[in-house]
């Protein structure tokens, strides 16, 4: 049962939202489970290089689309690790990124983390997320949650604008934040986690069902 701070009206709206998502559950389940297995495998068996490429993907998708981020990840591949700054910027321009100069600089300057990522993803989720937010360029609360979810950490929510719009549509949040800080992110994540619990999935996996509901596909 949802905790009472959501209120009677919100609890009713949660039930309506869950009924909507359940309509696509059987169609989405196989794709969701396949994607989740990929996430867990990357977290357990991924190399430092593979983890860095995934981290770079999460940096790219901020104010961009997951679909385009996946395309960039496939085309640039090890270039996230090997290209010099100018080459990386050109590679991002080629795939049509909106902010090639800024994102290439972030990724280039984040290479110092290579050799430390496997340890980071094995840590407590909250500790790992705080570390990423405080130390990795281009990574905020949403992006750090995205990366950790994509390596099999299921107790985080990716509060994308599409998800936020859905929460607002059902009056589970009053407004969509224009910016994030720790308290703001965690307060909305707490609501998201309760909805996920009612649905019967952990937050990271529930997010995949939401995406299927919204887009008809399971991305990442």
CA angle (10 as vertex; 6, 15 as ends), nearest 5: 115
Q: Which position has the token pair 């910016």?
A: 179
Listed in sequence order, the residues at least 6 apart from 6 whose beta carbon sits closer than 8 Å to its beta carbon are: 14, 172, 191, 194
Residue of 153, 160, 207, 220 marked active site: 160
Do 189 and 200 touch, CB atoms closer than 8 A?
Answer: no
Do 219 and 66 touch, CB atoms closer than 8 A?
Answer: yes
Residue of 44, 77, 116, 142 marked active site: 142
Q: CA 148, 149, 150, 152: dihedral to nearest 10 degrees?
A: 90
Alpha-carbon span 39 to 32, nearest angstrom: 11
215 is catalytic: no
142 is catalytic: yes
Which string of b and e fits 140-159 if b means at least 16 CB within 10 Å? bbbbbbbbbbbbbbbbbbbb
Residues taking part in catalysis: 142, 160
């Amino acid at each position: 049962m949802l905790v009472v701070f959501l209120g009677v009206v919100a609890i009713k709206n949660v039930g309506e939202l869950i009924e909507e998502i359940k309509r696509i559950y059987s169609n989405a389940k196989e794709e969701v489970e396949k994607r989740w297995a990929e996430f867990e495998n990357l977290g357990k068996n991924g190399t430092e290089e593979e983890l860095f490429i995934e981290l770079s993907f999460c940096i790219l998708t901020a104010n961009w689309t997951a679909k385009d981020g996946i395309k960039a990840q496939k085309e640039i591949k090890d270039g996230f690790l090997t290209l010099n700054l100018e080459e990386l910027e050109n590679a991002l321009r080629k795939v049509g990124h909106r902010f090639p100069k800024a994102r290439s600089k972030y990724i280039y300057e984040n290479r110092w983390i290579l050799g430390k990522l496997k340890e980071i993803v094995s840590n407590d989720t909250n500790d790992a997320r705080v570390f990423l937010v405080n130390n990795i360029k281009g990574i905020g609360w949403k992006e750090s949650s995205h990366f950790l979810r994509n390596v099999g950490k299921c107790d985080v929510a990716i509060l994308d604008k599409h998800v936020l719009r859905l929460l607002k549509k059902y009056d589970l949040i009053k407004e969509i934040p224009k910016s994030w800080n720790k308290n703001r992110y965690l307060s909305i994540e707490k609501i998201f986690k309760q909805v996920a619990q009612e649905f019967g999935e952990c937050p990271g996996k529930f997010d995949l069902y939401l995406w299927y509901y919204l887009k008809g596909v399971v991305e990442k």
